[in-house]
A and B are shown apart, each in its own frame.
Chain A
C-alpha cells in the first residue's frame, strides 16, 4: 500500500510537471485529487490499514495529497503568470497616447486673467459697465472738452440715438464713483471701440483694463508702488519700468508707463497710462451725485489703464494683431497658462 502511494505520488508530480495548459493541469487534478481520483481511492483504502499503521499511513497520505495539491497550485500560478506576461509582450511604450479632447483659453483671456489675478491679490475688486455709453460717462465726466477731437464721428462709433460705443474703460470709473462712496479700489476689463481702420496693428475693437483707487490718503507714491508691483508680478521681477510724464484730460499729473525686458529685445515698450484723478473729474461726479462724497480736498486717487491686445501682441511677438480676432484653432492651441 505504501509502495503504491509512493508510485502514485511520483506519477502525479511528473504529470503536473509535464502539463503545459490549464485543461491538462485540470485533468491531472481530477485524475489524482478528484472524488474518484487515484489518491482519493487510496484514502478509501484506509479502512483496510491496521489500527497501529493507520496514523503513520494517514500522515503519509496527507503529505502526498498536500504535495500534489501544491504542485498543481504552483503550476496553475505559473501558467497564469505566463499567460499574463504574454499580454504585455511586444507592447511599444513609445507609441503615442490616446488623444483626449483638449481646449484652450484665448490668449487675450489668458493675459487678462494674469493681470486680474495680480491686481486682485493687491485688493482690487472687479467692476463692470456697458459697452454702449452716453457722452457724459465717456467724455464730459472725464473732463474731455466738447470740441475734443476724439468726440467726433471720425473717431468714435455713435448710435442713431446719440449714444456711443465707449472709447475707453474709464467709463467704469465714472459709473462706480456715481454709485458708491469712497473707498473705491476697482479694476474693469472690457471692450472699447475706436473708429480706426483695421490693419496689422490696429483693431476697431480692443480690450482694455482699467484700474481706480480712491481713498482719503492716496498719493502718487501709492500709484507708483501699485504699478511697480503689477509690472513685476506680471512680467517678472527683473522688468525695468519708467514713468513718462504725459497728458490726459482726466488725470493730473499723468504718466505713460514703459517697460523694458531683455527677453523682449531690451527695448522700451509703452504699456499703459496712469495718473492722479483730476479734481475736475471728482467735481463732475459730485455734481452728478448731488453730494460731496468725492470732495477733492478730502479724497484723492489714481487711475490706470492699458490695452490687453497690444500687450498680447508684444509678449507673443504676433506679426499681425488680426490673428487675435481670426480664431484659427491652430493659433489658439499655441497658448496656455
Chain B
C-alpha cells in the first residue's frame, strides 16, 4: 500500500527524516518497499525577491544581487544565472540550508564579494531533471515564505502490510501506528452526528452471514463534477486517478479510514436495496467494463430486479455515478472476508475494496466512514441527506477480551519488562484494561479494528513489537542433546562426499524435477515414476527416479562448453512409486582422461569401466563383488554387491549414447544406495596382526575357456580353503581372435598367487605342494591348461 506523508500529517506530526521514518515502520513490522520523494521539504529555503543586481566587479559571468528574503533587510547573493530580472521571485537558500546531495549552504565570498546564500534552480531542489537557470516562482509569491509551501512536495511511502494487520491499510491506520510509536496524539477527522429520520431507501439483507451489516444513505441534489484541487491531489499522490467528486470522495474515505464505500445513482436503482446471493444465470456489467457471470455463492447488492454490484468487490456500470447524477445512495457495509476472497478469486476481479474486505475491515468503521463521506459530499458536491441511514444487521463491535499474564510475557520473551511498561504499550494500542484483583494479570478489551488480537501470545507479540527486540538481552540456554539418526546419516554422506572429491570428482546438484523424456537415461531402471499434477512445464513434470539422467545432461552441457574430461558425483534424493518412495543415492559419472597430460607426458589414460570400478573399490567395502548384468541402454553393466546386498549398479553407456552426448570416449556411470552403502562400509577401528614372516609367490599362466570370468577363477581358488593361500592377483590377459597364438575360443591369463603363514617362515616344498593343489583345482573346476 502507498501512503502520502502530507496526508498522514493531517492526523499526526511526522518527522521530516524519511530514513528515521522508514526505520520506525520497519521495526514495527511494517516493511517499507520504497520511498518516493516528490518536491521536498527544504528548511531554510525561502522565497526571495530580486531587488537589484549589478555585474560582479571581478567576474564577467557573475552577478551581484540584492535579494529580499522577507526579513526587511536586503541580502547580497552572488549568482551565475542570467534568467531573472529585478522583481523576479526565486528560491533562496539561506546559510544553514542543506540541499539534496548534502550540499550545505554557508555564508562565503565568491571572487572577493560576500554571498549570503544561494538562489536555486529547479534541479537543485530536485523538482526537475535539469534546469536552465533559476526556478522562477509566481510573481505574487511573498518573500520569506518557506519554499516547501510553494512546491508540490510530498513523500510517498510504499509499505507491505502483512495479512494479520488490515487495520494498517489506511492513512489513519498508519497514523495511529506512528502516533503509538512516537508517543504522540492522533487527530482523526471530526464527524457530524448521524442524520435523523426515516431512511429514504429500504435495505434488506437476505445473507446476514456473509453481510452482517449493511448501510445506505440517500443524498439528494448533488452536483457531480471534477473534485477540488486538494482532493484530486490527495488521490493522485498515491497513484489513484480522479474520476468525479462523488467517486473521489468514496475513494478518499477508503484510503483515509480503510473502509470501502460505494455510491449508486439513485435514479438507476429500481426500488430498495437487497443484499443477497446471485441467482442462476445472473450477470453484472462491472465498472471495469467486464461482464461478470455470477454464481449462486456470489454475494451481490441488488435492487428490486437485478444485481447492481458485486458485494465488496466492484460496482455495476449502469448504476454508477456520472455527470448526470443528482441523487446518490451511499453504501457502507461489512462483508465477511472469506466470502469476498472466494468471490474475488472466482470472478478474477480484485480491487482496493476487495483487498480490504478480504483481510477484514473495522466493523465500527462502517458508520464512521459513512458519516465522513456524507460530510465531504455535502461540503464538496452540495445537496442534502434525505432521512436517516438505512441499515440491515448490526456491527459486531465487541471482541472477546484477552487475558495477559505479565509474568508469562516476561518468560516467553526472556526479558524483564516492567508491568507499567506492558500496560503503557497496550493502552497506547487502544486496548482497555479491565483491571482484575490479581496483580500482573490483566484482561484487556480489544478495539474493534484489532480483530487479530485473540490470544495471550498476540498481546505478547504487540508488547515486544513496541518494546523492541533490541532491548531484549541475548541469553544462552545450552543443553546437551545426543546425535540423531539423521546426524549419523548426514555424517556418512559427508564422509562419502569427501572421498569423492579426494578421487577427483566435482559435486553437482541437479534438480529433482526432470523431463520425463530424459528418463531414457535412467539406465539402471526402469522404475515406476512419480509425476507432478501441475508442473510448470514438460521440462519438470516428473520426480527423478535416478540421478543419472541429470548428471548426463550436466555432462552434455560441459562437453558442449569444451570440458571433455569429467568426473562428477551427486548425493541426492530419488523418487519412485513403492515402499521406498524417497531414498538417497550416490551417483557418479566419469568420462575422458583420468590424468591430464602435461609437459612430462603426452599420453593420457582414458577412463574405462575399471577406472570407475576402482573408485568404488576404494570405498573399503568388504566382500565387494560385481555381477555381470545386462541392460539395454548400456554397453557394459555390473551390479555391485556387498555380500548378498545389492548396493547399486555400475556401467558404461553405449557408444551411440556417448556420441549423442558429444564424446567418443567411454562414459561411465554408477549409482549406489546410501543406506545400503552405509550398512556395507563399516567404521573400522581394530588391530589386525601385521604378517611377520615373509610370503612366497608362485605364478600361474594358463589357457581358459574364453567366457570364464575372473570371478570364477578367484572363487575356485578361494573355495579350496587352502590355508597358505593369502592373495590372488591377475596380471595378464591375452586373447587372439585369429587363433594363431592362442586358440580363438580360449584366453591366456596369468595370475600371481601369494602364500603365507602367520606362524612361521614357509618351506619351498610346502609352497610347491600348495601351489600344485591350486593348479589341480583350476584344472578340475575350470578346465585350465597350464602353459609352462
Inter-chain contact total with CB atoms closer than 8 Å: 227
B700 at the interface (CB under 8 A from A): no
Residue B473, interface by CB 8 Å: yes
| B478 in the interface (beta carbon within 8 A) | yes
In the complex, chain A residues whose CB is within 8 Å of the CB of B28: 245
User: Which of the candidate stretches A9-17, A18-26, A323-331 sits at the interface with the other chain?
Assistant: A323-331
Contact of A219 among B414, B455, B507, B558 (CB under 8 A): B414
Residues on B with beta carbons closer than 8 Å to the beta carbon of A215: 477, 479
Distance in angstroms from A244 CB to nearest chain B CB is 6
Evaluate contact between A99 and B595: CB separation under 8 angstroms.
Answer: yes
Decide yes or no whether A2 CB sits under 8 A from chain B.
no
A228 to B470, CA, bound (A): 12
| Chain A residues whose C-beta falls within 8 Å of the C-beta of B31 in the assembled complex | 244, 246
**Are B575 and A327 neighbours in the complex by a CB distance under 8 Å?**
no
- Determine if A262 is an interface residue (Cβ-Cβ < 8 Å): no
Interface residue count for B (Cβ, 8 Å)?
87
Q: Are A127 and B486 in contact (CB under 8 A)?
A: yes
* Nearest residue, chain B, Cβ from A161: B533
Contact of A221 among B473, B494, B554 (CB under 8 A): B473
Q: Which residue of B lies closest to A155 (CB)?
A: B534
* Pair A205/B486 contact, Cβ less than 8 Å: no
A58 within 8 A of B: no
Are A252 and B487 touching (Cβ within 8 A)?
A: no
How far, in whole Å, are A191 and B561 apart by their CA atoms in the complex? Answer: 28
Asked whether, in the complex, the Cβ of B573 is within 8 Å of the Cβ of A204, the reply is: no
CB within 8 A of B513: which of A204, A244, A255?
A204
9-residue interface stretch from A64-72, A82-90, A128-136, A285-293: A128-136
Contact across chains for A246 and B162 when beta carbons are under 8 A apart:
yes
* A96 contacts partner chain B, Cβ-Cβ < 8 Å: yes
Q: Compute how far the CA of A98 lies from the CA of B595 in the bound complex, rounded to whole angstroms.
A: 9
Instruction: Name the contact of A253 in the complex, choosing from B465, B497, B507, B536 (C-beta under 8 A).
Output: B465
Q: Which residues of B contact A159 (CB under 8 A)?
A: 530-533
Check B507–A104 contact: CB distance below 8 A.
Answer: yes
Which residues in B have their C-beta under 8 angstroms from that of A210? none
Instruction: State whether A185 touches B487 (Cβ < 8 A).
Output: no
Cross-chain contact of B483 among A105, A125, A130 (Cβ < 8 A): A125
* Chain B residue with the shortest CB-CB distance to A223: B414
Q: A243-B470, A244-B26 are in contact. Are A219 and B486 (CB under 8 A)?
A: no
Interface residues of B in 423-474 (CB under 8 A from A): 455, 457-458, 460-461, 464-465, 469-470, 472-474
A329-B558 contact, Cβ under 8 Å, with A125-B486, A132-B581: yes
| With A204-B540, A253-B464: A130-B506 Cβ-Cβ less than 8 Å | no
A221-B413 contact in complex given A105-B501, A130-B581, A246-B29, C-beta closer than 8 Å: yes
- A259: B residues at CB distance < 8 A: none
Q: How far is the CB of B22 from chain A (nearest CB, A)?
A: 11
Asked if A315 CB lies within 8 Å of chain B CBs, one says: no
Do A219 and B479 touch across chains, with their CB atoms under 8 A apart?
A: no
Least Cβ distance of A235 to chain B in Å?
Answer: 17
List residues of chain B with CB within 8 A of the CB of A105.
Answer: 497, 501, 507
A183–B347 Cα distance when bound, in Å, is: 48
A260 to chain B, nearest CB (A): 13
Q: A123-B481, A245-B28, A328-B558 are in contact. Are A106 and B509 (CB under 8 A)?
A: yes
A316: interface (CB < 8 Å): no
Asked whether, in the complex, the Cβ of A325 is within 8 Å of the Cβ of B513, the reply is no
Chain A 307-337: CB-based contact to B (< 8 A → 1; otherwise 0): 0000000000000000011111110110000
Tell me the nearest residue of chain A to B508, going by C-beta. A327
Question: B498: shortest Cβ distance to chain A, in Å?
Answer: 8
Q: Which of A95, A106, A242, A279 contacts B507 (CB 8 A)?
A: A106
Give the one of B338, B507, B566, B594 with max A CB within 10 A.
B507
Whether the Cβ atoms of A217 and B411 lie closer than 8 Å is: yes
Residue A53 interfacial (CB < 8 Å): no
Inter-chain contacts of B165 with A (CB < 8 A): 247
Find chain A residues with CB under 8 A from B581 CB: 130, 132
Given the contacts A327-B510, A332-B507, A157 and B532 also touching, CB distance less than 8 Å: yes
Interchain CB contact under 8 A, A125 and B534: no
Interface membership of B535, Cβ < 8 A: yes
Asked if A141 is an interface residue, CB under 8 A from chain B, the answer is: no
- Quick one: which of B414, B473, B500, B505 has the most chain A CB within 10 A? B414
B481 touches A125 (CB 8 A): yes
Q: Point out the residues of chain B lying under 8 angstroms from A99, CB to CB.
A: 595-596, 598
Chain A 192-228, CB-CB to B under 8 Å as 1, else 0, gives 0101011000011100000000010111111011001
Closest B residue to A333 by beta carbon equals: B506
* A153 to B345 alpha-carbon distance, docked (Å): 13
B557 at the interface (CB under 8 A from A): yes
**Residue pair A276, B486 in contact (C-beta under 8 Å):** no
**Residue contact B457 to A279, C-beta cutoff 8 Å:** yes
Partner of A109, one of B470, B474, B497, B582: B497
Max chain A CB contacts within 10 Å: which of B484, B563, B566? B484
Q: Is A158 among interface residues, defined by CB-CB distance under 8 A?
A: yes
Partner of B487, one of A125, A157, A242, A246: A125
Q: A125-B484, A253-B464 are in contact. Are A222 and B414 (CB under 8 A)?
A: yes
**A327–B535 CB distance below 8 A:** no
A97-131 contact mask (Cβ, 8 Å, vs B): 1 or 0: 01111111110110001001000101111111011
A sample of 15 inter-chain contacts (CB < 8 A) reads A105-B497, A105-B501, A125-B483, A159-B531, A159-B532, A159-B533, A185-B481, A219-B415, A220-B469, A245-B28, A252-B457, A253-B469, A255-B469, A328-B558, A328-B563
Using A103-B505, A131-B582 as known contacts, list a sample of 11 further A-B pairs with CB atoms less than 8 Å apart, ordered by residue number in A: A103-B504, A106-B507, A106-B509, A123-B479, A125-B481, A131-B575, A132-B575, A153-B533, A158-B534, A245-B27, A327-B510
List A residues at the B interface (Cβ < 8 Å): 95-96, 98-106, 108-109, 113, 116, 120, 122-128, 130-132, 147, 153, 157-160, 165, 183, 185-186, 188, 191, 193, 195, 197-198, 203-205, 215, 217-222, 224-225, 228, 242-247, 252-255, 276, 278-279, 296, 300, 324-330, 332-333
Closest 10 CB pairs of A and B: A101-B504, A221-B414, A219-B414, A245-B29, A247-B162, A103-B501, A225-B474, A221-B475, A327-B508, A253-B461
